[in-house]
Structure 1
């Protein structure tokens, strides 16, 4: 089940924003976080909540599913939105009647088989032994089970902070994608070359290399230029009328290739310029180390040394400071970091982002194991494989919280003390069904790193996974949302 939102004509429109296949967002930005876990959740931006409900209902109508919903039992905003979505679906239950009939027949059949199996097992001589074994085994059967995972952004404040190294993620982090367009903002480029459309639907190269890391992308662009040069050489060998006619026939494709090569070369040049000026290789390696390893004193020293080094931008040292503060939450170290940031003349409200981010994340991350520590063996493997060709390993060690959570769901290992399940039409959950598809929706925005992780898991487990969100974050937009907590 793959949802291509470009064909959406529903009146409760899902605003497409920055879109790929198996990915949608509602283009709802700057969600106020203040009331997310307030007991009086009805005060929380009713109009925006209603837009979320309409968008999700519209999406479920498009995919014609009544999925079992998984959400964090400690998140009041998730529960509030699910309750409101249930109310809307119950009011329009006739839309889903055919689907419900199929679910009911399937569950009845599964219940009948289950009873038959128990009767047969009771007659076996080793019944007691077999019964104990079967208690820990899930009977996986063929079928189409769809799960709807609803998450709050504050369950993972780490992922939006990190420097990105895959094509699509770098575009949004370093340049910014808006309505499938980017602005290169190059003074020596023509205006039409500055405003560039980035769409997987119309650009095969972009679609093919969407998740390539920076090093592989450079090689891919070089190969693309070589193809263009080969086509150009054909153009210069027009020796007959037939040659000219053939060239005229293929000229539209030639012109498209020329424009596309120019586009990707300009983007790669922009990436290289930003990475060099901001020294992002060093910044990113330290970020990944903080996110994946636990060496508190070493990390503290490295962060302080980086803050004192004016080679790095204020924005990048601020991100490092935020990441360290989230990881270790050491009040004494945090105060030292704040003082060093102040010495760099970083604005007071930006320094207060440390307190705001700790407040933002404290409600949910205390329940989550956000920082997945790397073992010594994994660290050794990473060091060994760090060759010129494989340098990207140290920049992409981190996997999002969503990655691990989805794996737990797929393997039926989800933490039931943290996550609970319900159904949108109060029907019985689908019994013993093999998971066929998962829809993920982030309240408060998702990231392109999470989209990459979703696509990786989809291929790994041969399961259709759709990522939806209120909007798509880069680090700047994420911190702008967090900043609202202290601008009251």
Structure 2
């Protein structure tokens, strides 16, 4: 089960289906993101796609020498834009692909608009989600809840995205959901409805053990998105923000023009692919090795180019050298900025206390350490408020809880009222009253050893004690011990075998720490394949925005639409 590969294959097939010749790729805002995450522009250029346009762009030129490959979400707006396009076609021929199910009436409307008979093909290719990593997908949706209920349009979009993942992976699953979450039940029912309605699409070859879709709610584990991270991809997202594989570095002091925005994609960057899940200490060492390797391959001035063959060798190696040069400067810049932020914001000290709050059971020590950090002028407003949130979630019902005192400390530190109010919002969002599980499993403090070397090596010990709740949930599921009383099946189930193909989806957003958990389970559990998705992928900032929005508002497969041009469905 590989969501990146599924989307890549759809895109490749669209381009192949259009045959040889120059092409334009016509997309909407969302499908542009879907394609750009799995393919670079230069890769698509090699497939004779010379132009990328948006269907909603008003001033596109007429270019009859180009074929149009349209990859669009089946929204009313896109169908309307396409109808206008077909009435006055700008390109010679149109190959139309919808990223999800489209109604017969809309296909009929397109057929009627196609008076010049320029449409060669209309198909559904179910790439209606962002494939972030091979085992991680997102819908790029934030603010999905109104209190404890769905924002209606976002329930529909999540249903479409999730059913499209199932179709892309060719899975017709049993569904389990988190009983404590009404939103999880609603999404489960909504997905089931589509599977029932479109049963022909989901008629995949039966496997001995059916696949399983597990629907979870972020509010059951509000601790994971609040913690600082120490693996490369997760750190980048936490400290710099990673959106559709892009990082905005424009605010980095002294940044050069060509590094203001960089792309980090495991598909096209070997160093990044090899370091995604490594901790910060190891990345530092690997960056050093990358630099040394680069220095060896770097041309040593002009004096070496004495003969035609020297020059030819240089020119032959230049693209590879240039690519390596770009990789080196990009990662050195990113890791350098991460290092600066870790140092400036005292993140090692902050993270140690966060992990202690998340994993240990020593109220007095935790309280003391938070107060000490809140008095440290280098500790940022965000880090101060997240420490107090973790304390509020962890010691909500503790007999000695001193949340009012810590709130006063935040006030004295000059933390804005907006941030201070978020503490209460966080407890309302993910406190004991709403959780279906016990979040905190205390760890024996003696068992945790500090093995720091130059403040980096051993990061995996002190700074990564915490395991997301997802780890335990999936572990119980794989072992056949996940309680039906907490995670019921939707509808009758005779399934008692341990599932092998699992799609876990978190309403309210997943995290890169949870993606690491899934990556490790896939690696260490033979015969088990897990894919994780979320309405979005959170870092602390985006999670706080989600919680605030919730609080303030609450009070695979493919289908041709037939052989020939506008046939009925098969």
User: Could you tell me the TM-score, scaled by structure 2's length?
Assistant: 0.72
The runs of 5 or more residues in structure 1 that have no matched partner are 37-43, 104-142
- Name 1:415's counterpart in structure 2: 483
Ranges of 4+ aligned residues in structure 1 off by more than 6 Å = none
Displacement, 1:456? 0.6
Q: Is 1:3 aligned to residue 10 of structure 2?
A: no
Q: 1:317 aligns with which of 378, 384, 391?
A: 384
Displacement, 1:446? 0.5
- Name 1:405's counterpart in structure 2: 473
CA distance in 2, matches of 1:324, 1:208: 35
CA contact (8 A) 2:279 2:460 kept: yes
Matches within 5 A, 1:29-428: 29-36=142-149, 44-99=150-205, 102=206, 143-185=208-250, 186-233=252-299, 237-329=304-396, 330=398, 333-362=402-431, 366-376=435-445, 378-379=447-448, 382-383=449-450, 385-388=451-454, 389-422=457-490, 428=493
Measured against aligned partners, the alpha-carbon deviations of 1:42-91 in whole angstroms (never above 9, x if no partner) come to xx321110001111111111111111222111211111111111111111
CA contact (8 A) 1:33 1:482 kept: no
- Name 1:458's counterpart in structure 2: 522
CA contact (8 A) 1:356 1:483 kept: yes
CA contact (8 A) 1:3 1:21 kept: yes
Displacement, 1:235? 6.7
Q: Is 1:440 aligned to residue 440 of structure 2?
A: no
CA distance in 2, matches of 1:268, 1:460: 29
Displacement, 1:372? 2.1
CA distance in 2, matches of 1:438, 1:401: 16
CA contact (8 A) 2:214 2:502 kept: yes
- Name 1:28's counterpart in structure 2: 141
In terms of fraction of residues, the more helix-rich structure is: 1
Displacement, 1:14? 4.8
Displacement, 1:261? 0.4
CA distance in 1, matches of 2:481, 2:446: 24
CA distance in 1, matches of 2:162, 2:191: 8
Instruction: Return closer, same or farther for 1:377/1:460 CA change in 2, 3 Å cut-off.
Output: farther
Instruction: Return closer, same or farther for 1:394/1:144 CA change in 2, 3 Å cut-off.
Output: same
- Name 2:540's counterpart in structure 1: 475
CA distance in 2, matches of 1:263, 1:167: 14
CA contact (8 A) 1:18 1:179 kept: no
CA distance in 2, matches of 1:441, 1:244: 54
Displacement, 1:435? 3.0
Measured against aligned partners, the alpha-carbon deviations of 1:170-227 in whole angstroms (never above 9, x if no partner) come to 1111000112110112342233211101111110110010011111000000000011
CA distance in 1, matches of 2:256, 2:376: 36
Instruction: Return closer, same or farther for 1:440/1:391 CA change in 2, 3 Å cut-off.
Output: closer
Give the RMSD, CA atoms, in angstroms.
Answer: 2.1
Instruction: Return closer, same or farther for 1:149/1:364 CA change in 2, 3 Å cut-off.
Output: farther
User: Could you tell me the TM-score, scaled by structure 1's length?
Assistant: 0.84
Measured against aligned partners, the alpha-carbon deviations of 1:426-450 in whole angstroms (never above 9, x if no partner) come to 6x54453x53221111111111111
Instruction: Return closer, same or farther for 1:190/1:399 CA change in 2, 3 Å cut-off.
Output: same
CA distance in 1, matches of 2:410, 2:131: 34
CA distance in 1, matches of 2:131, 2:412: 39
Displacement, 1:364? 6.7
Q: Larger RCO: Structure 1 or Structure 2 (Cα < 8 Å, ≥ 6 residues apart)?
A: 1
Displacement, 1:481? 1.1
Displacement, 1:485? 4.3
Count of residue pairs brought into register by the alignment: 433
Displacement, 1:387? 4.9
CA contact (8 A) 1:75 1:364 kept: no
CA contact (8 A) 2:178 2:487 kept: yes
CA distance in 1, matches of 2:253, 2:353: 33
CA distance in 2, matches of 1:218, 1:259: 18
- Name 1:125's counterpart in structure 2: none
The runs of 5 or more residues in structure 2 that have no matched partner are 12-97, 101-125, 554-570
CA contact (8 A) 1:71 1:78 kept: yes
Measured against aligned partners, the alpha-carbon deviations of 1:275-329 in whole angstroms (never above 9, x if no partner) come to 1110101000110111111000111111122212222112111110000110001
CA contact (8 A) 2:503 2:530 kept: yes
CA distance in 2, matches of 1:255, 1:96: 46
CA distance in 2, matches of 1:430, 1:57: 21
Measured against aligned partners, the alpha-carbon deviations of 1:420-471 in whole angstroms (never above 9, x if no partner) come to 1236xx6x54453x53221111111111111011101110103221111111
Instruction: Return closer, same or farther for 1:395/1:276 CA change in 2, 3 Å cut-off.
Output: same
Instruction: Return closer, same or farther for 1:33/1:303 CA change in 2, 3 Å cut-off.
Output: farther
CA distance in 1, matches of 2:447, 2:158: 41
CA distance in 2, matches of 1:152, 1:325: 20
CA distance in 2, matches of 1:188, 1:418: 52
CA distance in 2, matches of 1:18, 1:53: 16
